[in-house]
């Protein structure tokens, strides 16, 4: 069945830091329970800037990395190849939201099995009772507007636009990928078991290993997504079942189901949170090259 779904509603939150006549990101999307990480150091601490959910909800924006588009209809996320990193565990930059179920209650820690994070419904009962949610769904509508064109082949044009993050690993990472000489890009899912390497699932086009023919040519996805083309995704967990859906107007949904029964996220102490924005997956290209996406809708729920 074909879909017509690309509608956007304003959240109505009050802006306190926006430029005159220009809304803040929190007026376009409901960002009352998200903080933002940016690839810049605004405090001379040597660390990437993280802005908590109260300041984001109050109207925080950044002209280079996190702001409303000129039309006032979407929130722009942008991250260059060269930038300040969020931690020693990553080598890639990001302009990315992190789900904060506590919604401003700073008496609750950001980490751990607590009321700021969620768990699988297959987790131990004690964890389910302590968590801020059990299972969850992230829905987004976006355009990827710019990707990188330089650097090594396997990093060109890659960006993660949505994630489920656990303590140390990622149950779900949704990639958009477009090579420099292609008009259309692919979408693929990566699932990382706690004790293994990423498993890739092609959704639109093919995944990275299948891009190359025997003569070394890179194949363009016939039904790929162009830069600036609006599309949507849903990342959903029910128990040990991960379901990711890619949606486009006038085309059938593309659905990937992953059985996570052996991935060990249902064990005690494992906590989850959603992430959305741009996580630039190129570290070898020209330093000023950027990955940019515009989000027109972003919703999260925990049944």
202 pLDDT more than 60: yes
Question: What is residue 43's predicted lDDT score, i.e. its pLDDT?
Answer: 80
Q: Which residue stretches of the chain are H helix?
A: 25-28, 53-57, 125-130
User: What pLDDT digit, counting tens, does each position of 35-80 carry?
Assistant: 999 999 988 888 899 999 999 999 999 999 999 999 999 999 999 9
* Mean of all residue pLDDT scores within the chain: 90
Question: What is residue 62's predicted lDDT score, i.e. its pLDDT?
Answer: 95
Tokens coding 14: 């009050």
Count of the separate structural domains present in the chain:
1
Contact 272, 123 (CB under 8 A): no
Contact 51, 98 (CB under 8 A): no
User: Is 19 contained in some domain?
Assistant: no
User: pTM value?
Assistant: 0.91
User: Is 194 contained in some domain?
Assistant: yes
The Cα–Cα gap between 271 and 130 comes to 10
Lowest mean pLDDT among 4-18, 148-162, 190-204: 4-18
**Cross-strand bridge partners of residue 259:** 241
23 pLDDT more than 70: yes
Task: Count how many residues are written for the chain.
Answer: 303
**Cross-strand bridge partners of residue 56:** none
- CA distances (Å), 255 to each of 139, 202, 279, in order? 14, 10, 22
User: Is 68 contained in some domain?
Assistant: yes
Give me the CATH number covering residue 234.
2.60.120.200
What percent of the chain has a predicted confidence (pLDDT) above 70? 89
183 pLDDT more than 60: yes
User: Is 7 contained in some domain?
Assistant: no
187 pLDDT more than 70: yes
User: Is 131 contained in some domain?
Assistant: yes
Domain that holds residue 103: 25-301
Lowest mean pLDDT among 10-19, 41-50, 136-145, 269-278: 10-19
Question: 145: Cβ–Cβ under 8 A, 6 or more apart, which residues?
Answer: 76, 227, 228, 292, 293, 294
User: Is 178 contained in some domain?
Assistant: yes
User: Is 95 contained in some domain?
Assistant: yes
User: Is 20 contained in some domain?
Assistant: no
């Amino acid at each position: 069945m074909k879909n017509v779904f690309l509608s956007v509603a304003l959240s109505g939150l009050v802006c306190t830091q926006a430029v005159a006549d220009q809304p803040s990101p929190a007026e376009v999307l409901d960002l009352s329970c998200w903080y933002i990480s940016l690839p810049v150091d605004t405090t001379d601490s040597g660390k990437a800037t993280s802005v908590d959910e109260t300041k984001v909800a109050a109207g925080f924006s950044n002209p280079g990395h996190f702001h409303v588009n000129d039309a006032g209809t979407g929130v722009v996320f942008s991250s260059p190849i060269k930038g300040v990193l969020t931690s020693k565990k990553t080598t890639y930059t990001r302009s990315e939201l992190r789900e904060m179920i506590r919604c401003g209650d700073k008496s609750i820690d950001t980490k751990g099995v607590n009321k700021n994070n969620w768990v699988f419904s297959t987790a131990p009962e004690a964890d389910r009772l302590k968590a801020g949610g059990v299972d969850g769904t992230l829905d987004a509508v976006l355009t990827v507007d710019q990707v990188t064109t330089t650097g090594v082949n396997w990093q060109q044009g890659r960006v993660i636009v949505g994630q489920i993050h656990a303590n140390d690993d990622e149950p779900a990472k949704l990639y958009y990928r477009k090579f420099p000489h292609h008009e259309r890009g692919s979408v693929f899912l990566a699932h990382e078991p706690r004790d293994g390497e990423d498993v890739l699932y092609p959704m639109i086009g093919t995944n990275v290993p299948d891009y190359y023919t025997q003569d070394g040519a890179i194949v363009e996805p016939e039904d790929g997504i162009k830069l600036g083309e609006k599309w949507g995704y849903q990342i959903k967990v029910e128990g040990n079942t991960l379901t990711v859906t890619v949606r486009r107007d006038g085309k059938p949904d593309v659905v990937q189901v992953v059985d996570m029964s052996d991935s060990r996220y249902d064990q005690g102490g494992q906590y989850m949170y959603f992430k959305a924005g741009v996580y630039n997956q190129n570290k070898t290209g020209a330093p000023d090259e950027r990955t940019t996406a515009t989000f027109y809708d972003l919703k999260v729920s925990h049944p």
